């Protein structure tokens, strides 16, 4: 026959009286904290509350019942946020019992029977609140006199520790854990001996999760443990900042595993927590222990028949493969993946095989190999076995590969549109977010900044389809990080650095440095700082950033290093790095970086007056940009071609070529690109007008007037970026142009501005003819 305690946990909606198993083998007991919860429930039924206050308190009841025990200070603070008057009444009720006598606590428990005398009371006997109160009453009534006295002394200590000094309070509450077991409904010596003998099942490994100074806490009940694990797992997935800190969560898990090392779910949460801090040893250890405990517990066999053991093994191998992929251990990941495929084939598990195939093409992509055929096979098989999630992931992977291989935009967008229909049909909110972030990246790659901005805003303003629990939204995923980074870079391109600071600050708060996706905003922040310093001509500030960029992305770091060396007139070293980088990028088929390297190499040829040598390189870059439909890079290449033709003495042809690129640059380009394009246009107009610095010859007044207006627009763009070196060039050209046109006052003004900037910069101005 089931004990009294076990019969209290049956589901009132079930007629067969099935009881819930207790994972830890430790029964619930009456504690001072639960007396505080009872006092709260009593005051809610006895006092009159407004509708908003009652709603807030009702939402608070379940977490208070199912969650771990809180200190009195935490408990009162939580209640006070919902209803200050009720918090004061609860505090007064506890004061009457703690500062009174034992009979005051007896009287309190005797008054709790009132709500069950009639059916019209608020805490009905089969409700969640009613069951909790009945359970506590029965547990209290079963206590012996000595146990009641110990409970009363514990209540006094619990209450007075709220007002004690911090040094006094630290030795108070943890010490009660050992005595609480004596107030258990079915306390046995076996349970206590089991707790004393068991040790934490974790290896001796130094990690930032460790904390040797933690205090020993008492065990949690089954419901408290399940609630704690479910809450923390949900928060880690959807809003990591609201979850416990890694060290604090590790401390709680260590305490939980101390009382039950075979609790599989705790090992899995330990695995997730270890991944937060990139602890490869502890994460692999916890993952293996999770599957070991899952197999030993027999839960898999009961739920999945005879195949439960094998199912755990193959998914354990698959998870281990994904773990090694995460840390870049491709050889180990490949071995684990082959093991998972072998076991899945032996068991004829098509679903597991599809997951393995998805990880197989992902692994090939991470190694830099062409995985198009594998991805297409994965999409076909996933559609055949009705696995929309894997099919959509495969299509998104094909879109990403198609974008890097030069597929046209309309084909990629059509494919994403088809997957979006599938996402909305099956409410796959995570894939919807990935699709929007991917669309943002594609538009940026193609040079359509307005469309990229629209897609990023659409993602950031989209409501999640996930059920919102614990008051959080799904906003700490990689898709949100990518969209915010694009948003920061788009604002930086327009010179809106105050907005960039706000976006980056939000990213730092949402994705702390130890989190998985923190590298995205770190690299974004460094690139923005680098570009800003280079635009302002502060190479000494940009140079230290190269090392940090290289640590996050070696390719970007090499490219930025070459840019700094070029700015410092160390052309030989810059050329050597660029040649190495071009060979590497051609092997990895990174067309964007290949084009940027070609443009930078052409600029090195300009410095040695090798304009004719730069032409074939620029034409090759232009063909590659058009092949991959990279409009922004194609426009930048045309600017370089136009400048080269200007230096070769054919300004009319240069101006004609420039007209092809000026519209996309002004529509989608950065402020720096707009200023450079207008400055180049003005120089072509001056050369086409027959302008001579010494004033000889007859100039075309119409083209000269257009050049004056164009230089004024260029100056406005450079002023927005505080680009003083470029402004100095503009004022120099303005002074010469006004002198040739006979505008003495404007000439003197431009000459004065040039002189002021030249004195401020205290560096010799490079020849205007040597840079774009």
Give the span between the Cα atoms of 271 and 142, in whole angstroms: 41
The residue with greater pLDDT, 359 or 241, is 359
Q: What is the pLDDT of residue 309?
A: 61
Flag whether pLDDT at 270 surpasses 50.
yes
CB 308 within 8 A of CB 300: yes
The two tokens of residue 728 are 């100095």
The closest of 209, 204, 203, 363 to 275, measured between CA atoms, is 209
CB 531 within 8 A of CB 546: no
Tell me whether residue 347 is exposed, middle or buried, using C-beta atoms within 10 angstroms of its C-beta: 0 to 12, 13 to 18, 19 or more.
middle
pLDDT tens by residue, 534-559: 998 888 899 999 999 999 999 999 99
Which stretch of 53-57, 94-98, 192-196, 737-741 has the lowest confidence by average pLDDT? Answer: 192-196
Q: What is the pLDDT of residue 168?
A: 40
The residue with greater pLDDT, 176 or 751, is 751
Which of 94-98, 294-298, 485-489 ranks highest by mean pLDDT?
Answer: 485-489
**Distance (Å) of CA 718 to CA 192, 219, 658, 728:** 75, 66, 20, 10
Q: What is the pLDDT of residue 483?
A: 94
Q: How many residues does the chain have?
A: 772
Flag whether pLDDT at 122 surpasses 60.
no
- Interval 362-391 mean pLDDT: 87
Q: What is the pLDDT of residue 766?
A: 57
Tell me whether residue 632 is exposed, middle or buried, using C-beta atoms within 10 angstroms of its C-beta: 0 to 12, 13 to 18, 19 or more.
buried
- Interval 282-295 mean pLDDT: 84
Q: Residue 710, Cα to own-chain centre: how many angstroms?
A: 43
Flag whether pLDDT at 521 surpasses 90.
yes
Flag whether pLDDT at 169 surpasses 60.
no
Helix (H, G, I), strand (E, B) or coil at 29: strand
- Interval 652-660 mean pLDDT: 89
- Interval 558-572 mean pLDDT: 93
**Distance (Å) of CA 582 to CA 125, 385, 435, 575:** 76, 43, 31, 10
Which stretch of 570-579, 595-604, 759-768 has the lowest confidence by average pLDDT? Answer: 759-768
Look up the pTM and report it.
0.74
Residue 242 DSSP symbol: G
Q: What is the pLDDT of residue 443?
A: 92
CB 395 within 8 A of CB 437: no
Q: What is the pLDDT of residue 451?
A: 92
Helix axes 350-366, 388-404, angle to 10 degrees: 20
Which stretch of 191-200, 306-315, 486-495 has the lowest confidence by average pLDDT? Answer: 191-200
Q: What is the pLDDT of residue 189?
A: 37
**Confidence at 195, pLDDT banded by 50, 70, 90:** very low
The closest of 288, 289, 313 to 300, measured between CA atoms, is 313
Flag whether pLDDT at 392 surpasses 80.
yes
Give the span between the Cα atoms of 260 and 243, in whole angstroms: 23
Q: What share of the chain in percent tops pLDDT 70?
A: 81
Q: What is the pLDDT of residue 183?
A: 41
**Confidence at 207, pLDDT banded by 50, 70, 90:** very low
The residue with greater pLDDT, 3 or 666, is 666
Flag whether pLDDT at 302 surpasses 50.
no
Side-chain half-sphere of 606: how many Cα atoms within 13 Å? 25
Flag whether pLDDT at 575 surpasses 80.
yes
CB 761 within 8 A of CB 724: yes
Q: What is the pLDDT of residue 205?
A: 36
Flag whether pLDDT at 218 surpasses 80.
no
Q: What share of the chain in percent tops pLDDT 90?
A: 24
CB 33 within 8 A of CB 158: yes
Q: What is the pLDDT of residue 226?
A: 81
User: What average pLDDT does the structure give for the chain?
Assistant: 79
Which stretch of 133-142, 188-197, 305-314 has the lowest confidence by average pLDDT? Answer: 188-197
Q: What is the pLDDT of residue 113?
A: 58
Give the span between the Cα atoms of 24 and 651, in whole angstroms: 84
The two tokens of residue 501 are 């600071």
Flag whether pLDDT at 21 surpasses 70.
no
- Interval 501-526 mean pLDDT: 90
Q: What is the pLDDT of residue 533?
A: 93
Q: What is the pLDDT of residue 219?
A: 63
Flag whether pLDDT at 369 surpasses 90.
no
Helix (H, G, I), strand (E, B) or coil at 481: helix
pLDDT tens by residue, 665-683: 999 999 999 999 999 999 8
Q: What is the pLDDT of residue 184?
A: 41
pLDDT tens by residue, 221-262: 777 788 888 888 888 877 777 888 888 899 889 888 888 888
Helix (H, G, I), strand (E, B) or coil at 184: strand
**Distance (Å) of CA 89 to CA 41, 44, 59, 80, 83:** 11, 10, 19, 10, 10
Q: What is the pLDDT of residue 228?
A: 85
Q: What is the pLDDT of residue 117?
A: 53
The residue with greater pLDDT, 429 or 176, is 429
pLDDT tens by residue, 393-449: 899 899 988 888 878 888 888 888 888 888 888 888 888 889 999 999 999 999 899
**Confidence at 583, pLDDT banded by 50, 70, 90:** very high
Q: What is the pLDDT of residue 297?
A: 66
Which stretch of 29-38, 346-355, 454-463, 590-599 has the lowest confidence by average pLDDT? Answer: 29-38
pLDDT tens by residue, 308-340: 566 777 888 888 888 888 888 889 999 989 988
């Amino acid at each position: 026959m089931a004990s009294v305690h076990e019969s209290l946990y049956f589901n009132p909606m079930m007629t067969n009286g099935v009881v819930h198993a207790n994972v830890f083998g430790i029964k619930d007991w009456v504690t001072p904290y639960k007396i505080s919860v009872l006092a709260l429930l009593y005051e809610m039924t006895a006092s009159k509350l407004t509708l908003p206050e009652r709603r807030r308190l009702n939402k608070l009841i379940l977490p208070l019942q199912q969650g771990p025990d809180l200190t009195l200070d935490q408990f009162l603070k939580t209640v006070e946020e919902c209803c200050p008057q009720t918090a004061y009444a609860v505090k007064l009720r506890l004061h009457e019992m703690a500062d009174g006598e034992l009979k005051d606590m007896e009287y309190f428990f005797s008054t709790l029977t009132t709500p069950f005398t009639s059916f019209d009371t608020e805490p009905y006997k089969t409700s969640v609140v009613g069951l909790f109160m009945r359970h506590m009453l029965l547990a209290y009534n079963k206590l012996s006199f000595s146990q009641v006295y110990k409970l009363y002394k514990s209540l006094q200590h619990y209450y007075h520790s709220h007002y004690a000094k911090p040094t006094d309070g630290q030795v108070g509450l943890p010490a009660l854990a050992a005595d609480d077991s004596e107030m258990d409904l079915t306390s046995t010596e076996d349970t206590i001996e089991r707790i004393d003998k068991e040790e934490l099942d974790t290896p001796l490994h130094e990690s930032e999760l460790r904390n040797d100074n933690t205090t020993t806490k008492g065990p949690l009940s089954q419901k408290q443990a399940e609630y704690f694990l479910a809450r923390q797992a949900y928060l880690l997935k959807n809003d990591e900042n609201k979850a416990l800190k890694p060290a604090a969560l590790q401390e709680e898990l260590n305490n939980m595993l101390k009382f039950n090392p075979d609790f599989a779910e705790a090992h899995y949460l330990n695995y997730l927590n270890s991944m937060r801090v990139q602890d490869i040893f502890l994460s692999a250890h916890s993952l293996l222990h999770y599957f070991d405990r899952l197999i030993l517990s027999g839960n898999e066999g009961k739920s999945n028949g005879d195949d439960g053991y094998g199912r755990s093994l193959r998914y354990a191998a698959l998870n281990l493969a994904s773990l090694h992929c995460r840390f870049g251990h491709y050889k180990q990941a490949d071995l684990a993946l082959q093991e998972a495929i072998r076991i899945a084939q032996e068991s004829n598990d098509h679903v597991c095989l599809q997951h393995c195939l998805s990880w197989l093409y992902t692994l090939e992509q991470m190694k830099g190999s062409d995985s198009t055929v594998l991805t297409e096979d994965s999409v076909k098989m996933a559609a055949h076995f009705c696995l929309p999630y894997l099919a959509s992931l495969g299509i998104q992977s094909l879109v990403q590969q198609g974008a890097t291989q030069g597929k046209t935009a309309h084909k990629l967008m059509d494919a994403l549109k088809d997957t979006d229909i599938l996402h909305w049909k099956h409410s796959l909110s995570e894939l919807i977010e990935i699709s929007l972030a991917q669309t943002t990246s594609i538009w940026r790659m193609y040079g359509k900044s307005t469309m990229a901005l629209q897609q990023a805003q659409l993602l950031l303003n989209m409501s999640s389809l996930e059920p919102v629990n614990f008051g959080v939204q799904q906003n700490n995923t990689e898709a949100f990080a990518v969209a915010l980074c694009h948003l920061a870079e788009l604002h930086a391109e327009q010179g809106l650095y105050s907005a960039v600071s706000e976006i980056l600050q939000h990213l730092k708060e949402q994705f702390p440095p130890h989190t998985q996706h923190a590298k995205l905003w770190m690299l974004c922040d460094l690139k923005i700082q680098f570009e800003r310093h280079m635009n302002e001509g502060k190479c000494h500030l940009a140079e230290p950033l190269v090392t940090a960029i290289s640590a996050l992305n070696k390719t970007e770091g090499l490219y930025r290093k070459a840019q700094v060396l070029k700015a410092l007139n160390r052309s030989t070293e810059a050329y050597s790095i660029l040649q190495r980088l071009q060979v590497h990028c051609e092997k990895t088929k990174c067309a964007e970086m290949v084009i940027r390297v070609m443009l930078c190499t052409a600029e090195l040829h300009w410095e040695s007056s090798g304009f004719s040598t730069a032409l074939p390189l620029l034409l090759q870059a232009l063909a590659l940009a058009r092949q991959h439909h990279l409009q922004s890079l194609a426009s930048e290449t045309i600017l370089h071609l136009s400048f080269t033709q200007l230096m070769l003495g054919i300004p009319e042809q240069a101006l004609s070529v420039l007209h092809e690129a000026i519209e996309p640059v002004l529509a989608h380009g950065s402020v720096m690109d707009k200023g450079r394009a207008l400055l180049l246009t003005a120089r072509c107009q001056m050369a086409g007008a027959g302008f001579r610095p010494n004033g000889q010859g007859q100039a075309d007044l119409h083209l000269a007037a257009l050049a004056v207006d164009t230089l004024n627009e260029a100056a406005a763009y450079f002023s927005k970026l505080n680009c003083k070196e470029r402004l100095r060039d503009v004022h120099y050209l303005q002074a010469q142009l006004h002198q040739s046109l006979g505008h003495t006052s404007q000439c003197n003004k431009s000459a004065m501005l040039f002189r002021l900037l030249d004195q401020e910069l205290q560096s010799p101005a490079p020849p205007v003819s040597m840079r774009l």
